[in-house]
Each structure stands twice: as structure tokens, then as C-alpha cells.
């Protein structure tokens, strides 16, 4: 089974052009599934044809018993279905026991976002003097101004930017490329950080011996991680007293919501977010519609 999994992961990376994060997620989800299925066939060498639909249903029941979130269970069920389709196409399985496997129905949740006033407070929180403060302000500005995923932000290299045009080339999910635009305030913050970045690199050159193309660096002059971005955001949220549920992705939600609130075309927002399906973008129209309804309910004398 491990050989079959390795072949599937190679196919994802080479033929489907999946990102490292996607391959990592599939590896983790399917490794857990294989370990569980192995307990159902102890004493036997586990092969795809040994696995039954009953085994897979037992796996989903076990996931529920472990109190995994519905979204996590749905992702793991989807991974198993995709894997068995691959095994059947490759002739590694004669039947597909995952064909009727169903994921739990997802709770429909509107994305959490910040108001424009709250975002102003957050973006002003980092110090405008120290190098790390300049970096943090540029990070928050870019996440909101360009609607970036945190992995897209930490993956940015110097060559990805055209500062004269205020545009960056973003490599998103599935290694798809898109253009991201950012405004004058973000450009100003970015340029200030790039100056400070040069000083940080000059200071650390003797330690590391080589430069890096990464735009956003940690204090040791190496590429910043997504987890570090989450931690710095937590610090500024606490500093200005904003909702602690806020994550780096909240700034992306806020980006989309504010664009639609101000009349942006939904297909343009889809392109800016890098969504392959318009359905994914449409959740933000529900957010803005709800806000309009709330205003109606509060203001109209016969609303209630």
C-alpha cells in the first residue's frame, strides 16, 4: 500500500502539477487511512483489493468518533476517493470501494472578516521605525491590499514584483499564476521594508554567507514561515484589541468582502482571489447581502 501511495503522490506532483502543500495534505490524510485500514486486516499484507466499502465506512465512523471537524473528515474522504480512482485507472485495484463513500454535509458558515475601521487599526499597529515593524506593516498591507493567501505571501520572491506597476506575480493553489495588484499605501510600506531588508541582509551576510530571494525574512534573514505570520498577527490583534478569531486568511476574506461592498464585479474578484470556480467566490455575496438585510431590519419601520 505504501508503494501505491508513493506512486499516487508522484503522479500528483509531476502530472497534476500539485503544490507541495497539496501533496503533503494528501500524504498525511492517506497515511492515516492506511494505518486505520491495516488494523482491519491484521496479519495480512494490505493491498488495494483487500479493502472493502465497509472498511472505508468504518474509517469515516472512526473519524467522527475522534471528533474531527466535518471539514477535516470531508477532506480525508475526498482524498480516499481520489486515490482509489487513481488505483483503478492504473490497474492497481480491480474495484473501487470508495465509489459510494460520502462526506459529511458541511455547515454553511459565512467567512469572518474585519470592518474597514478595524482593518485601519490593525494596519497601523506595527511600528514604523524598527526593521521588523516595517516588515510586519508591509506583510499586513500586502495580505489585505492584494488578497493573498499566507502561503502565497511567504513564497514571494523579489523577481515576482513590478514595483513601477504596483503588481506582483502570485503562484497560488495548483501552481496557477495570477497577477495581484496593490495600492499606494501598500507600495509605500513594501518599499520601506525592502530598504530595511537590505540592512538586515548586510548584517547577517557573515553568518549565512549567501543572499536569499525571499521578500519577507525573519530576524535571521531567512524566509519567513506561514506560522510566523500567524504569530505576528496574533500580537497585533491583542495590541489593538481586535477579534482574536482573526487569522491571516481573514484579511483575504476582508479584501473580497470590501471589494464587493464597494461595487466590484464578482468575476473580477474571482480573478483577483485566484478562484478556479465562481461558486467559491459567491460566498462573499452572501456576506454582503446579509449586511444589507441587517441594515434594512434596523432602519425600516416595518421591517419587523
The structural domains of the chain, ordered by start, are 2-89 (1.10.150.130), 116-246 (1.10.443.10)
Look up 223 and say whether it is catalytic. Answer: no
Q: What is the mean pLDDT of residues 55-70?
A: 92
Residue 34 reports pLDDT greater than 90: yes
Catalytic residue among 81, 252, 253, 258: 252
* Digit-coded pLDDT (tens) for 252-287: 999 999 998 888 888 888 989 988 888 878 888 777
Collapsed DSSP state (helix, strand, coil) of residue 182? coil
Catalytic residue among 26, 144, 236, 284: 284
Look up 249 and say whether it is catalytic. Answer: yes
Residues 6+ apart with CB under 8 A from 21: 151
Q: What is the mean pLDDT of residues 178-206?
A: 89
Q: Write the DSSP symbol of residue 1.
A: -
Measuring CA to CA, which residue among 264, 290, 270 is closest to residue 282? 270
Residues 6+ apart with CB under 8 A from 88: 94, 95, 96
Look up 284 and say whether it is catalytic. Answer: yes
Residue 197 reports pLDDT greater than 60: yes
Catalytic residue among 135, 149, 197, 258: 149
Measuring CA to CA, which residue among 150, 131, 156 is closest to residue 214? 156
Residues 6+ apart with CB under 8 A from 292: none
Look up 149 and say whether it is catalytic. Answer: yes
Per-residue model confidence (pLDDT) at position 208: 52
18: confidence class by pLDDT, cuts 50, 70, 90: confident
Which grid coordinates belong to 108? Answer: 454553511
Do the strands 177-181 and 167-171 form a parallel or antiparallel pair, or are they unpaired? antiparallel
Measuring CA to CA, which residue among 261, 287, 255 is closest to residue 123? 255
Q: Which residue has the higher pLDDT, 185 or 105?
A: 185
The CA distance from 132 to 219, in Å, is: 7
Catalytic residue among 173, 178, 204, 223: 173
Residue for grid cell 531567512: 222
CB 62 within 8 Å of CB 88: no
Q: What is the mean pLDDT of residues 77-98?
A: 93
CB-based burial label for 272 (10 Å; 0-12, 13-18, 19+): buried
Q: Which one of 109-118, 203-212, 287-296 scores highest in mean pLDDT?
A: 109-118
Catalytic residue among 16, 27, 171, 249: 249
Beta bridge mates, 157: 214
Name the least confident of 15-29, 59-73, 103-117, 226-240: 103-117
Look up 173 and say whether it is catalytic. Answer: yes
Amino acid at each position: 500500500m505504501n508503494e501505491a501511495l508513493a506512486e499516487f503522490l508522484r503522479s500528483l506532483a509531476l502530472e497534476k502539477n500539485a503544490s507541495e502543500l497539496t501533496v503533503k495534505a494528501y500524504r498525511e490524510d492517506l497515511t492515516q487511512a492506511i494505518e486505520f485500514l491495516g488494523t482491519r486486516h491484521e496479519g495480512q499484507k494490505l493491498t488495494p483489493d483487500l479493502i472493502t466499502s465497509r472498511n472505508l465506512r468504518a474509517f469515516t465512523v472512526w473519524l467522527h468518533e475522534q471528533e474531527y471537524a466535518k471539514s477535516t473528515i470531508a477532506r480525508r474522504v475526498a482524498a480516499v476517493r481520489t486515490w482509489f480512482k487513481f488505483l483503478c485507472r492504473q490497474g492497481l485495484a480491480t474495484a473501487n470501494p470508495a465509489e459510494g463513500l460520502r462526506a459529511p454535509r458541511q455547515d454553511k458558515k459565512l467567512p469572518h472578516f474585519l470592518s474597514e475601521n478595524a482593518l485601519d487599526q490593525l494596519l497601523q499597529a506595527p511600528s514604523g521605525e524598527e526593521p521588523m515593524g516595517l516588515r510586519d506593516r508591509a506583510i499586513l498591507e500586502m495580505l489585505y491590499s492584494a488578497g493573498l493567501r499566507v502561503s502565497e505571501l511567504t513564497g514571494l520572491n523579489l523577481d515576482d514584483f513590478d514595483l513601477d506597476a504596483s503588481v506582483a506575480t502570485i503562484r497560488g493553489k495548483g501552481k496557477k499564476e495570477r497577477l495581484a495588484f496593490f495600492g499606494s499605501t501598500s507600495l509605500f510600506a513594501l518599499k520601506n521594508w525592502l530598504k530595511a531588508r537590505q540592512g538586515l541582509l548586510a548584517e547577517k551576510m557573515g553568518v549565512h554567507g549567501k543572499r536569499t530571494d525571499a521578500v519577507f525574512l525573519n530576524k535571521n534573514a531567512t524566509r519567513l514561515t506561514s506560522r510566523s505570520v500567524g504569530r505576528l498577527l496574533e500580537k497585533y490583534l491583542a495590541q489593538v484589541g481586535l477579534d482574536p478569531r482573526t487569522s491571516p486568511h481573514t484579511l483575504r476574506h476582508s479584501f473580497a468582502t470590501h471589494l464587493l461592498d464597494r461595487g466590484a464585479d464578482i468575476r473580477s474578484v474571482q480573478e483577483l482571489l485566484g478562484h478556479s470556480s465562481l461558486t467559491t467566490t459567491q460566498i462573499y455575496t452572501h456576506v454582503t447581502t446579509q449586511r444589507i438585510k441587517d441594515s434594512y431590519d434596523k432602519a425600516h419601520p416595518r421591517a419587523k
